[in-house]
Amino acid sequence: MRALRALIAALTAATLAGPALAADEGACYVAKGLVQADFALPRVAAAVDAKQLKIVVLGSGSSTLPGADGPAKAYPARLQESLERRFPGVAVRVVTQAKPRQTAADMVKALRQTLGEEKPDLVIWQTGTVDAMLGVDPDEFQTALGEGLDVLRDSKADALFVNMQYSPRTDSITALTAYLDAMRFVALQRGIPLFDRLGVMKEWSELGVFDLAAATKKIDIAERVHDCIGRLLASMVAEGKTLAQTSDTGAGTMDSQKKESH
Amino acid sequence: MPPALPAGRDLRLDFFRGVALWLIYLDHVPANVTSWLSTRSYGFSDATEIFLFISGYSAAFVYGREMRDRGVVVAGARILKRAWQIYVAHIFLFMVYMAEIAYVAATFDNPLYSEEMGIFNFLKQPDVTLVQAMLLKFKPANMDILPVYIVVLIGFAPTLWVLLRTPTLALAGSVALYALTWRFDWSLPAYPTGTWELNPFAWQLMFVFGAWCALGGAERIAPIARSRPVVALAALYLALAFTIALSWHAPRLASYVPRWFSEWMYPINREDLDVLRFAHFLALAVVTLRFIPRDWAGLASPLARPVILCGQNSLEVFCFGIFLSFAGHFAMVEISDRIWMQVCVAVGGIAAMAGLATMITWYKESERTKPGPHPLLRSADGAGGDA
């Protein structure tokens, strides 16, 4: 019995210490199965090779946290930190362009200017919440997504979608399905990786990793959720980069828009 | 206590309407593993199609007879009365919805969700919200079916009049309205932005098609629908839709869907009843009818009884289901949202729906058997399930 326990402890320690990153991700990794880069991020791969990676997070209120510490604790900052650890020697910079109450169409309007100023390699586009709350026509939402991606393609930036938060208390009040479907369809159609924030947070809630239904004014859970989202996003970005490299060696110089082949 | 039926009523209708009501309930409980049972997970169409089709079928069955026996005016008045009942039911559900929202808004606070809490802003303007809700322009989540039903019923009396004379013309008119809606983007405006979640100008097709089938259309297309090639084609289409639906859940599969094909296929529009959805419903119907004959033994089994009873009291059970989905969600938030709780909510809700349906049928039975008013006074609404 004692021997068995020792063996288990040793195995656990080995697993945790084994891949350097595993310990780093901790409890967040419960939902790792839901996070997969299904499409390559060729611009990110090129930028990492060039030792300079610039990312813009385009989003609405749920890409930020309130308070003086907010910007440092919100997921874009956590993403930057996690990527710096993953890519030593690469200058990673994550800029947040998040304003509350912005629909997808609102964001597209300002997008060209943002891209001109920031010239990012990757745009992480978090959207859907505000559109669903306002009841914007799902078709119009989908059109806005497509237009945004057109702008990104013109400026040669990779794109990655982040969908809504899972919010158990307001779940039955805001109908998200049509907007989730729209994001998923556009992501598939255009070969854009989609970070299923809703699915990940739902998994955390169901498995009891975080109590997302808690009514609280305290910020600690929110900060830990954002930290985890930042880490998982980083692993997705890294995966998208790896996919781009493996497909480059095989397929030569195919159109960068091409879907990843398996 | 067998379900009360006039001769000739197809029990399969009640059965599948009952199934649709259960699936709608499961769809409406948020974050629920059992919603995997819904047809939505296996193809393009969902329970909405089944519900509106069978509602059209039943409406034509009940009010068609009424119109033949007692004239256009009486039948028309009854149809409008039904529309009014559904409107009242809708407003009742809206009250339940508002009560839940007001409660959540008052008790919930979390810095993680400062954006999502914006949904409560409309509570600050009850003057606008309540009026918009009464005008059916406010779109509470999951309450999209009844408004369509109301609008369709309002226009149903003249449609039924034509259906009873030249059914083909009525169906052609319905298809034409559907086509024009797609061509010219007709829709009803909603509040604060956008349009209705289900466009009644498009979805009327489902209802009128059901009505057409009830008034002889089903017999006319039966030879085609039962023919081997059509059944094979339908099965093939269902398999294709299933494959596509799988690719939504496993994005890696999506890379096997040819690009030109997904460009042609997407978006699959729910609001305006995409042709792919309509076709998916047809295929489901063809395959179902092929394997479940009218005298299918399963319909008489005690296991089917609760489903059939639910289908026969569809408005009450539908509304109760919406109410239960709010209550179930509330229980999941307040007590636990683990899998065991989700299953409890699903099973408990369905049991409650079946219980209500049994009670209503028992009540109607006892009203029927007691000596009382002239039988004509309780013809359409009481007998043989509702429209």
Inter-CA distances, B142 with A153, A181, B207, B245, Å: 36, 16, 19, 21
Q: Which residue has the tokens 């539908």?
A: B318
Angle at B188 between CA B185 and CA B192, to 5 degrees: 115
Q: Distance from A168 to chain B by nearest Cα, in Å?
A: 6
Quickly list DSSP for B16-35: HHHHHHHHHHHHHSSS-GGG
A91-98 and A158-162 as β-strands: parallel, antiparallel, unpaired?
unpaired
Q: Do B115 and A62 touch (CB under 8 A)?
A: yes
d(CA A219, CA B262): 43
Is there a domain that residue B1 lies in?
no
The predicted model gives B109-118 an average pLDDT of 90
ipTM above 0.90, yes or no: no
Tell me if residue B292 falls in helix, strand or coil: coil
Which residue of A lies nearest to B341 if distances are taken between CA atoms? A206
Domains delineated in chain A: 27-249 (3.40.50.1110)
Is there a domain that residue B143 lies in?
yes
What is the value of pTM for the model shown? 0.83
Is there a domain that residue B2 lies in?
no
Q: Distance from A201 to chain B by nearest Cα, in Å?
A: 11
Q: Distance from A131 to chain B by nearest Cα, in Å?
A: 10
Tokens coding B304: 């089917």
Is there a domain that residue B26 lies in?
yes
Q: Do B112 and A165 touch (CB under 8 A)?
A: yes
Tokens coding A9: 């402890």
Q: Which domain holds residue B209?
A: 11-378
- Between chain A and chain B, the number of residue pairs with CB atoms below 8 A apart is 161
A52-59 and A122-126 as β-strands: parallel, antiparallel, unpaired?
parallel
| Tally of structural domains, chain B | 1
Q: How far is CA B161 from the centre of its chain?
A: 24
- Round the average pLDDT of chain B to a whole number and report it: 88
Tokens coding B117: 């809490």
Is there a domain that residue B87 lies in?
yes
Quickly list DSSP for A167-224: -TTTTTTS--HHHHHHHHHHHHHHT--EE-HHHHHHHHHHHTSS-TT---S--HHHHH
Q: Do B338 and A206 touch (CB under 8 A)?
A: yes
Which residue of A lies nearest to B99 if distances are taken between CA atoms? A173
Q: Distance from B385 to chain A by nearest Cα, in Å?
A: 30
Q: Do A178 and B111 touch (CB under 8 A)?
A: no
Percent of chain B with pLDDT over 70: 92
Do A162 and A75 meet the contact criterion of CB atoms below 8 Å apart?
no
d(CA A244, CA A227): 26
**φ, ψ for residue A156, nearest 5 deg:** 60, 35
Is there a domain that residue B245 lies in?
yes
Tokens coding B157: 């009396």
B193 vs B300, more confident: B300
Q: Do B267 and A139 touch (CB under 8 A)?
A: yes
Q: N- to C-terminal Cα distance for chain B?
A: 22
Q: Do A66 and B114 touch (CB under 8 A)?
A: yes
Angle at A217 between CA A216 and CA A218, to 5 degrees: 90
Q: Which of B344, B342, B57 is CA-nearest to residue B206?
A: B57
Is there a domain that residue B174 lies in?
yes
pLDDT tens across the length of chain A (262 residues) = 444 444 444 444 444 443 434 434 567 877 777 888 888 999 999 999 999 999 999 999 999 999 888 999 999 999 999 999 999 999 999 999 999 999 999 999 989 998 989 999 999 999 999 999 988 888 899 999 999 999 999 999 999 999 999 998 888 788 888 899 899 889 988 889 999 999 999 888 888 888 888 888 889 999 999 999 999 999 999 999 999 988 754 333 333 334 333 3
Annotate B312-376 with three-state secondary structure.
HCHHHHHHHHHHHHHHHHHHHHHCCCCHHHHHHHHHHHHHHHHHHHHHHHHHHHHHHHCCCCCHH
Do A161 and A192 meet the contact criterion of CB atoms below 8 Å apart?
yes
B264 touches chain A (CB under 8 A): no
Which chain B positions have a beta carbon within 8 Å of A171's beta carbon? 30-31, 329
Is there a domain that residue B305 lies in?
yes
B297 touches chain A (CB under 8 A): no
Q: Which residue has the tokens 């509304």?
A: B319
Tokens coding A33: 């199965």
Find the CB nearest A205 among B114, B268, B337.
B337
Note which residues in 36-95 of chain B have CB less than 8 A from chain A: none
Task: Categorize the per-residue pLDDT at B8 as very low, low, confident or very high, splitting at 50, 70 and 90.
Answer: low
Q: Which residue has the tokens 């930290």?
A: A227
Find the CB nearest B31 among A101, A202, A225.
A202
Q: Do B113 and A169 touch (CB under 8 A)?
A: yes
Q: Distance from A86 to chain B by nearest Cα, in Å?
A: 25
Q: Which long-range contacts link B375-381 to residues 24+ away (Cβ below 8 Å)? A: B379/B66, B380/B62, B380/B63, B380/B65, B380/B66, B380/B78, B381/B78, B381/B82
Q: Distance from A171 to chain B by nearest Cα, in Å?
A: 6
Inter-CA distances, A7 with A3, A15, A16, A20, Å: 6, 12, 14, 21
B340 touches chain A (CB under 8 A): no
* DSSP letter assigned to residue B194: S
B111 touches chain A (CB under 8 A): yes
Please say if the pLDDT value at position B26 is more than 50.
yes
Task: Categorize the per-residue pLDDT at B369 as very low, low, confident or very high, splitting at 50, 70 and 90.
Answer: confident
Which residue of B lies nearest to A206 if distances are taken between CA atoms? B338
Angle at A184 between CA A180 and CA A190, to 5 degrees: 145
> Which one of B110, B195, B322 makes the best mutation probe of the A interface by having the most chain A beta carbons within 10 Å?
B110
Inter-CA distances, A201 with A213, B14, B42, B365, Å: 11, 39, 24, 49
B366 touches chain A (CB under 8 A): no
d(CA B240, CA B235): 9
